[in-house]
Chain A
C-alpha cells in the first residue's frame, strides 16, 4: 500500500512513515490507518458473507436438494450469520468510519487511547481468525445458527466452542472501541466544539459506544456459559438438570437486541451527515436527531423479549415487551421525519453518496415497519421464524446499515485516498443493487407471510416460483456489488486525483483539512465557531 509516489506532496498520512512496509500499517496507532485496517478487513468479511448468502440462495432456488444437504445448509446459514453480524455489520461503521472520522470531526489529533485502538483491531483480527479456524478444525463449522441457542449448542458435535470463543474476542474488541470513543468524545473536543455543535455522526457514535459498553459484557458472559456448558456440562440451561433454556435466550437477547442499535445507529449518523450536504440545507431538527439516538439506545435496551414471544414466556412478559417494542419506533420515526423535512425544498444533488443515503431511508423504513409486525405479539406468532423475519432483518441490516456503509464509502473514501471513483458506474451499481435487493428480500417477506419457515433447506412446491424470483434478485444484487467494487477499486487506485479539501461542500471539520488528511489531522488546533450544518458559517454559499 505504498502510495506516496503517486500522490506526491499531498500524500498526507499515507506517506508519513518512520517504519516502512506493512508494519507501518499493522502497528500504526494513527486512527486513520486503523480505520482503514478496519475498513478493508470488515469489507473482506462482507464479501465472504455475500458469497455464503448467494450459496444459500442457490440451494433455495428450487425445491428439494439443489446443491447441498441439510447439514451443510445448517453450517452455511450459521457461518453466513456469524460473519455478517459479528465480523461485518457490528464492527463495520464504528470501526472503519468512526475511527477514520470521529477524531477529525471533533477537532482532535487522535482518539484518547491510540494504542488501545490498535489493540481493538488486533483483537478483532484475532477473533476473526479463530472463527475461521473453527470452520476447518474439530467437528467442522458450527450448525447452530448465529444465536447459538442452548441446549442444542451444548450438544452438537460441531466446533461451536471455538467459534464462540472467537466471537468472545471480537466482543472484547467492541467494548474497547466503545470505551475509547466515549472517553475521546468527552475529553478531546477542540475549543468551541460544544455538545450542541457535535456532528450527528459523532452523536450517533456516542450513543452506540454506550450500547457497546453496557450490552457487550452480557454477551461475553453468555458466550462463556456456552463454553462452560460444553466443556463442563454444568446444565444451567438444560431442563433435564434443573436449568432453563429460556434464561439463555434472555441473556442472549439482552445483548443481541441492543446490538441491532450498534448496527443501525452509526448508519443513521452517516445518513444525517450526507442528507444536509447534498440537499444544501442545514439539517432539520438537529437536537431531536441527536436526542433520538440516545433515546433509541436507552429504550432499545428494554425490548429484547420480542424475540421470545413464542418461547414460552409469561403472557404478562409478552404484553410488556410488545408494548415497549412499539415505543422504540417513535425515536426512529423522528429521525426519518427529520431527514424528509431536511430534503423538503432542498436543492438536491443526486451524487452516489446521496443515492445510497436516500435508499437507506426507504429500505430502513420498510424494514422498520415490518418490524412493527414482529413487535406486535399477535402478528409475530403468525410469522415467527419464517422467511418474513429473514426479509425484515435483511431490510434493516443490509438495506439499512449496509447501504449506509456504502454511502459512507462513496462519501468519505475519496477524502482519505485523494482519488475519485467514476460517477456513472457508481450510479449504475447503485441501481442494480437497489433493484436486486428488493427483488431478493421482498419476495422473502411474501414467502414468510405464506408460511415458508426460515433455516430450512427444502420447502413445499407451492413456494417454488417466489424462491426462484428471490434467487434471481440475489444475482442482480451481486452484479451490482461487483460493479461497485470494481469501480471503487479502480477509483481509489487510479482515479482522478482529488486535491481540494472540500469536494462535496460539507461544513464539518474533516472538510477543512487537506486531502488526504495529514498525520496529525490539524496543523494547529482548530477553534470551532459554527455548527456542523451551518454551511454559511463555514463560508460555503
Chain B
C-alpha cells in the first residue's frame, strides 16, 4: 500500500520502463518505414546516405556515448553518497546534450543551404527514393533531437535536485529514471547512426 512516507521504488522503475517501451515503439514506426523504403529504393538510399557528413555523425555518436557514461557515473556516485561528483557528472551529460544539438544544427543548416530539405525543389528534381530518404532522415533525427532536448531539460531538473540534496543515497529514483531516459536517447541514436550514416 502506498503511504506518503513509503516510496515504491520498484513501482516507479516499472512505470519508467513501460514508458521507455512506448518511446521505442514511437521510433519503431519510423524504423519500419525506413525498412520498407530501403527495400524499395536500395540504390537511392545508398547514394543519399553517402551525402551525409560521416565526421559529424561520428562525433555525435562519441558525444552521446560519453554522455551516457557520465549519466551512469552520476548514478554510481549518488549511491556512494558523493553528491558533488554526481552533480558534476550530470553537468557533463547536459553539456554533451548541448554539444550534440549544436552539431546537429550545423549539420542541418549545411544540408538546408545545399537545398536538401523536405519538399525542396532540388529533391523534387532528383529520384523519388532520395527525397524519401531525406524526408525520413529529417523526421527521425528531428524527433531524436527533440528527445535530446527533453532529456537535457529533465537532467537539469534532476541535477538541481542532486544539488539541493533532495536526491541522495537514500532516495535517488529521480536520478535513476532520468539516467534511464538518457540511455534511451543514446540507444535510439545508436540505431540511427548506422542506418543513415554507415550502412550503405
A232 touches B119 (CB 8 A): yes
Known: A232-B118, A236-B33. A179 touches B26 (CB 8 A): no
Q: Which of chain B's residues have a CB closer than 8 A to the CB of A241?
A: 124, 128, 131-132
Q: Indicate the member of B11, B12, B15 with the most A CB atoms within 10 Å.
A: B15
What is the minimal beta-carbon distance from A398 to any residue of chain B, in angstroms?
29
| Contact between chains at A213 and B18 (CB < 8 Å) | yes
CB atoms of A244 and B36 under 8 A apart: yes
A233 touches B2 (CB 8 A): no
- Asked if B131 and A235 sit within 8 Å, CB to CB, the answer is yes
- Chain A interface size, under 10 / 10 to 19 / 20 to 34 / 35 or more: 35 or more
Q: Which of B15, B27, B139 contacts A179 (CB 8 A)?
A: B15
Residues of A within 8 A of B26 (CB): 217-218, 220-221
Chain A residues 199-214 with CB under 8 Å of chain B are 213-214
Decide yes or no whether B138 CB sits under 8 A from chain A: yes
Q: Is A187 an interface residue (CB 8 A)?
A: yes
Contact yes or no, A221 B30, CB < 8 A:
yes
Is B55 an interface residue, CB under 8 A from the partner? Answer: no
- Interface readout for B12-31 with A: 1 if CB under 8 Å, 0 if not? 10110011011101111110
Smallest CB-CB separation from A191: which chain B residue? B1
| A268 on the B face (CB < 8 A) | no
Provide the residues of chain B in CB contact with A180, threshold 8 Å.
15
Given A179-B19, A183-B11, A525-B1, A235-B29 contact (CB < 8 Å):
no
CB distance from A388 to the nearest CB of B (A): 31
With known contacts A188-B1, A236-B33, A247-B36, A179–B18 Cβ distance under 8 A: yes
Please indicate the chain A residues that have their CB under 8 angstroms from the CB of B132 in the complex: 235-236, 241-243
Interface size on B, residues (CB 8 A): 38
Q: Which residue of A lies closest to B27 (CB)?
A: A221
Q: Which of B120-160 contact A (CB under 8 A)?
A: 124, 127-129, 131-132, 135-136, 138-139, 143
A108 in complex: contacting residue of B2, B12, B25, CB < 8 Å = B2
Contact indicator B25/A218 (Cβ below 8 Å): yes
B15 touches A112 (CB 8 A): yes
| B33 near A217: Cβ-Cβ < 8 Å | no
Given contacts A247-B36, A525-B1, contact A112 B11 (CB under 8 A): yes
Instruction: Name the CB-closest residue of B to A225.
Output: B139
11 CB < 8 A contacts A-B: A108-B1, A175-B19, A179-B15, A183-B18, A218-B29, A232-B118, A234-B139, A236-B139, A241-B124, A241-B128, A243-B132
Task: State the A residues within 8 Å of B (CB).
Answer: 108-110, 112-113, 116, 175, 178-180, 182-183, 186-188, 190, 213-214, 216-218, 220-222, 224-225, 228, 232-236, 241-244, 247, 251, 525
- Apart from A232-B118, A236-B132, A242-B131: 11 A-B pairs, beta carbons within 8 A: A112-B2, A112-B8, A112-B15, A182-B14, A183-B18, A186-B11, A214-B21, A216-B22, A217-B29, A228-B118, A232-B119
